[in-house]
Amino acid sequence: MNKSKKTVFAFITVLVIILVSVISLTENKSKNIDTLRIAHPLDPSHPLHRALEHFAKRTEEFSQGSMRVLIYPNGQLGSDRECLEQLQYGILSMGITSCGPLEGFVPDMQIFGIPYVFRSREHMINVLDGPIGSHILASGEKYGLKGLCFYDAGARSFYTKDKPVYTPADLAGLKIRVMKTTMSIKTMKALGALPTPIDFGELYTALQQGVVDGAENNPPSFMTSMHYEICRYYSMDEHLRIPDILLVSTLFWEKLSPQQQRIVQQAAVESAYFQRAIWQEFTQTSLEKVQSAGVEVISPQKELFIEAVRPLWQSFEGTSVGTMIQKIQDVQ
């Protein structure tokens, strides 16, 4: 299917879903039920989807049934960028996305694209649960995107088809799929790879057809996307820890009563703690599954990757991003 046909098909799909949702919304309004629609690009088996199911359950419980949550997985309502635009216009109530693509909408989000800005998972959680995290969640409001909570998305590492990656030198000349963000492209160039931006939903085919030699993501996404069927090497360099974020359209948020806003916020926070609890287990299970399928999981020389991206850090000295990097490093 060519690109124009895919675009038309996606547009028609979104229209159909919106039409069905409008009918549902009309029925719910007659019963005094407020409906929140959430879209995300992942499979229903993914921890993020399970976190949203928890969010939906708690929202309905806290509101005593006066609020209902509808979840649309697998990119049913469009790509990350399309869903973000729908949020800005109030077409969509809520959505989950990686903080990576958000840097094109909310400048403060580019901090998450700095490789090795977090020393560990624990360091990242301490940052996100503190004043810095609160500031970043609020930073999108003037762009129509209010952050409610962060979800753990683990560490992104390289996976490749034909060549294992032990050091940055092994990336030389390899076409690596990256998110369509400036920081992702800069990071790949710093590590010596050839960055190739491709939508996540098109990556399996791109790997099959040799458009790219590999990609980078966390173990659960590597497993649930079935990319391990093609890529036989997973190198745990853990160059990025980019959390996912639960967003609500400010246009929708402002229509909620103060009590409803408290309900949604509390349900969101609880869903984040729920997701963190299951993420670690799912990560280990994912690694075990891909290994049993024949994937070689590699522990590379991480210090060489850190050294390779040091000039990228230095390029932000004297800027607001550089200041944010230092504040993050000061958190214990």
Domain boundaries, the chain: 3-152+242-284, 156-241+294-330
Q: Which two tokens stand for residue 235?
A: 């190198």
Per-residue pLDDT of the chain (332 residues; tens, 9 = 90+): 554 544 444 455 455 455 544 444 444 444 567 999 999 888 888 889 999 999 999 999 999 999 999 999 988 998 888 999 999 999 999 999 999 889 889 999 999 999 999 999 999 999 999 999 999 999 999 999 999 999 999 999 999 999 999 999 999 999 999 988 888 999 999 999 999 999 888 999 999 999 999 999 999 999 989 999 999 999 999 999 999 999 999 999 999 999 999 999 999 999 999 999 999 999 999 999 999 999 999 999 999 999 999 999 999 999 988 999 999 999 98
92, β-bridge pairs: none
Residue 82 CA to chain centroid, in angstroms?
A: 14
Cβ atoms within 10 Å of 209's Cβ, excluding its own: 8
> Which residues have C-beta within 8 Å of that of residue 187, sequence separation ≥ 6?
113, 115, 178, 239, 240, 309, 312
Taking each helix axis from N to C end, the angle separating 131-138 and 121-128, rounded to the nearest 10 degrees, works out to 60
- CA pair distance 179, 242, nearest whole angstrom: 11
- Do the domains at 3-152+242-284 and 156-241+294-330 have one common CATH topology? yes
* Structure confidence at residue 32 (pLDDT): 61
CA distance between the termini of the chain: 50
Task: Beginning with the edge strand found earlier in the chain, give each strand of the sheet holding 233-240 in spatial order.
Answer: 194-197, 175-178, 214-217, 156-160, 233-240, 296-298
Instruction: State the pTM of this model.
Output: 0.83
Helix H or strand E encompassing 189: helix 182-191
Rounded distance between C-alpha atoms, residue 243 and residue 151, angstroms = 6
Q: Which pLDDT score is estimated for 50?
A: 94
Which H helix or E strand runs over 215?
Answer: strand 214-217
The DSSP 8-state label assigned to residue 112 in this structure reads G
10 Å CB burial of residue 251 (0-12, 13-18, 19+) is: middle
Among 142, 122, 120, which residue's Cα sits nearest to residue 130? 122
Parallel, antiparallel, or unpaired for β 145-151 and 296-298?
Answer: unpaired
- The pLDDT of residue 43 is 83
Q: What is 156-241+294-330's CATH topology?
A: D-Maltodextrin-Binding Protein; domain 2 (3.40.190)
Instruction: Give the helix, strand, coil percentages of the chain, each rounded to 5.
Output: 55, 15, 30
Q: Tell me which amino acid residue 83 is.
A: C
By DSSP bridging, strand 175-178 and strand 194-197 are parallel
For residue 318, how many other CB atoms are within 10 A of its CB?
8
Residue range 3-152+242-284 in CATH 3.40.50.970 = no
pLDDT confidence of residue 25: 44
Report how far apart, in Å, the C-alpha atoms of 132 and of each of 138, 175, 227, 248, 329 are.
10, 34, 34, 19, 11
Per the rule left: phi > 0, alpha: psi between -120 and 50, beta: everything else, 305 is alpha
SS (H, E, C) 113-174: HCCCCCCCHHHHHHHHCCHHHHHHHHCCHHHCEEEEEEECCCCEEEEECCCCCCCHHHHCCC
Q: How far apart are CA 84 and CA 186, in angstroms?
A: 23
